[in-house]
Amino acid sequence: MSTLLTQDNNGVRRITVNRPDKLNALNSEVIADIDAAFAEVAKDDSVRAVVLTGSGEKAFVAGADIAQMSALSPSDAYQFALRGQRAFDRIENCGKPVVAAINGFALGGGCELALACHVRFASRNAKIGAPEVTLGLIQGFGGSQRLPRIVGTGVALEWILSGDMMDAAEAHRIGLVNRIFEPAQVVDEATAFAAKLAGRAPVALKLALECVIGGMGLSLAEGQLLEASHFGLAFATEDMKEGTKAFVEKRKAVYKGK
């Protein structure tokens, strides 16, 4: 995966989009590499949490590669969108918590990439937005669907229809990012938080993610039924037995992901 850097440490995999000369812009190769990287995350039991960030000090991912994208035919653009959606769905549904460390510009496809992550930490100098309409385009990698689910329809439409950029403080105010840090700290803070999650019971994390993500498209009654079924599944795990036993014995649980 020539466009990504990976680093593993104590159950946390850091994945870095590595095109700093292009502000880490998304092209077909990057999208294919992201798809492959998160397919590997899903099946690698040694990975318990992920940090996703961009190389350099200017950008998380500044957007899609406009030079490549502008040459697409309508049918090619449709297929390009489907490939991007599949890759970003892979992030959201990998079964491991994914923390975005937004260390600069996260625009267009970069914003959509951050939205596919489960938790978003931002640098104080981050700029986030959906400027597609300023280019005569719309979102193609799931942004028009994920953004309103995160911040609400009215707020999402304000940013999608205007194409304006927001700073980290505004992104935090509307609930788009969870926390803000100084530029030199954001990746380390995201990694520390991912390390905390990596210490939790892996099966429970997967079940919790499935309840929240899967339940968003369900009625309250249907969502609660999903929750009850997953609650029952948790009781079939070795991790649940270890966690409850460790609590009674007043010691730290050692989870095996079983």
CA–CA gap between residue 213 and residue 226 (Å, rounded): 11
CA–CA gap between residue 148 and residue 204 (Å, rounded): 27
CA–CA gap between residue 189 and residue 152 (Å, rounded): 27
CA–CA gap between residue 177 and residue 80 (Å, rounded): 27
Which residue among 112, 170, 189, 210 is the active-site one? 112
| Contact partners, residue 184, CB within 8 Å, separation at least 6 | none
Residue 19's φ and ψ, nearest 5 degrees, are -135, 60
158 classed as catalytic? no
Which residue among 29, 40, 92, 132 is the active-site one? 132
132 classed as catalytic? yes
Buried b (16+ CB within 10 A) or exposed e, 84-94: bbebbebbbeb
CA–CA gap between residue 193 and residue 196 (Å, rounded): 5
CA–CA gap between residue 70 and residue 238 (Å, rounded): 52
Alpha carbon of residue 34 to chain centroid: 11
Q: Which residues are catalytic?
A: 112, 132
